[in-house]
Amino acid sequence: MKEWKKIYDSKLVTVEEAASKIKSGDRVWVASAASAPAKLVNSIAERSSELVDVEWYDSLAFNLFDFFKGEGKGHINVNTWYMSGVTRKFKKEGNINVASIHLSKLYKYIQEKEPTVVLCEVSEPDENGYMCYGPAGVVTCDEAAKSADRIIVQVNKHCPYIHGERNKVHVSEVAYICEDHHQVLELPQAPASEIDEKIADYIIPEIPDGATIQLGIGGTANAVGYGLENKKDLGVHSEMLTNSMVHLIKKGVINNSKKNYKPNKTVISFGLGSQELYDFMNKNESIEIRPFNEINDPNEIAKNDNLISINNALMVDFTGQVASEAIGFNQFSSTGGQLDFVRGSQLSKGGKSFICLPSTFNSEKGKKSRIMMTLPPGTAVTVPRTDAQYIVTEYGAADVSNKTLSERAKLLIGIAHPDFREELKQQAIEAGIIS
């Protein structure tokens, strides 16, 4: 028997035993999204009433754990650096605390919090006893492990093994191992709407052959991604690997041959999508995981010529301020890496930044314009007006960079929904923004 297998067996416990190793006062860092060890965390949740002042750090939680609810406060206090639909649902109950963190600075946040425990779902050990932190655990777990006195892993034979930097942990480095073999949690793919397709139609011609792309999740990103089939020699430098990217790689559209930085590699920080995506990532040497403080550093982003960044927003005001994470104090998502890529793409030779949004949204009072004179009170500005470049709706693309406030307002009103343009124009005149 290999030496690492003996170590593995000596640390193997039941899920319930692993859950019992969380103590009052612990600072627990749990892997993101599909890499959260759901069975283990549910077992911890079952004993949350026994615990006092556990600080819990998560992001993009896909699973509902009972301590997310208000009664969890004081027992397991939830801190999230990226909101999900699940944590958003329970925020008003008072036990979801949201941190505003640029992904390029996330590791400083981890260092300040000094986690005492790391929880992650991992792959089975390789021939040398190393387990991969998985499609989303690779983002932060290695950094969090630096201060932790306990690394507790849940081994899943279906978890992909992904190549990269700081992507794995040896069986000798973990305190406890439990097992739960199940299919990796998939992210349902948002279908592209007619509006998404129209927005994509304005962006796709602006992406040259040989460009390096960054895409996020959602209908617009999918409309752009799948709409790039006729391009050539695209590359990827992005926080996440998406299903549309996998599609383009298989088609030969993405080959990373023209990238200046790490050519011939799809460079990402994590993967999130379907089983097809996870299967594609598994032991694929053309994919390389890199830390957020590298992937999201604007200066690193800019090493690639023609870096095209495509992100979503909720609202934009006349000056070009972009709100992508909240409306008033109602938090929808989080700061994330949007501004990192907005800045990095514009530092790139030939690079471009696109912020996309439908022109309207439905409120209790009826249809409202997402292009507006001022953002609602309390609304966080994700991208300052000094950084905004292309703003895109289904009615056009407005390049607001280096424009006067008057020019910006006119351009943005021009891509607002036609039903609101005259009203918006009058508001701008009355405010003295345009004459």
pLDDT of residue 363: 85
Report which of residues 209 and 363 the model is more confident about: 209
Separation CA 151–CA 402 (nearest Å)? 49
Separation CA 306–CA 209 (nearest Å)? 9
**Residue 347 pLDDT level (bands cut at 50, 70, 90):** very high
**Residue 1 pLDDT level (bands cut at 50, 70, 90):** low
* Domains along the sequence of the chain with CATH: 3-179 (3.40.1080.10), 194-430 (3.40.1080.20)
pLDDT at 53 over 80: yes
Return the active site residues. Answer: 239
Closest CA to 95 of 119, 75, 120: 75
pLDDT of residue 251: 97
Q: What is the mean pLDDT of the chain?
A: 96
Q: Are the C-beta atoms of residues 158 and 184 closer than 8 Å to each other?
A: yes
pLDDT at 183 over 70: yes
Separation CA 255–CA 232 (nearest Å)? 8
pLDDT at 280 over 90: yes
38-52, 86-100, 198-212: which has the minimum mean pLDDT? 86-100
pLDDT at 358 over 90: yes
**What is the reported pTM?**
0.95
pLDDT at 369 over 90: yes
pLDDT of residue 14: 98
**Residue 189 pLDDT level (bands cut at 50, 70, 90):** confident
Average pLDDT rounded to a whole number, residues 10-17:
98
Separation CA 35–CA 352 (nearest Å)? 32
Per-residue exposure over 351-367, b if at least 16 CB sit within 10 Å of its own CB, e if not: bbbbbbbbbbeeeeeee
**Residue 27 pLDDT level (bands cut at 50, 70, 90):** very high
Partners of residue 268 on adjacent β-strands: 289
Task: Identify residue 216 by its one-letter amino acid code.
Answer: G
Average pLDDT rounded to a whole number, residues 392-405:
97
HSE of 69 in the Cβ direction (CA atoms, 13 Å)? Answer: 7
Average pLDDT rounded to a whole number, residues 414-424:
98
pLDDT at 246 over 90: yes
pLDDT of residue 217: 83
83-102 pLDDT per residue, tens: 999 999 999 999 999 999 99
Q: What DSSP element (H or E) covers 345? A: helix 338-347
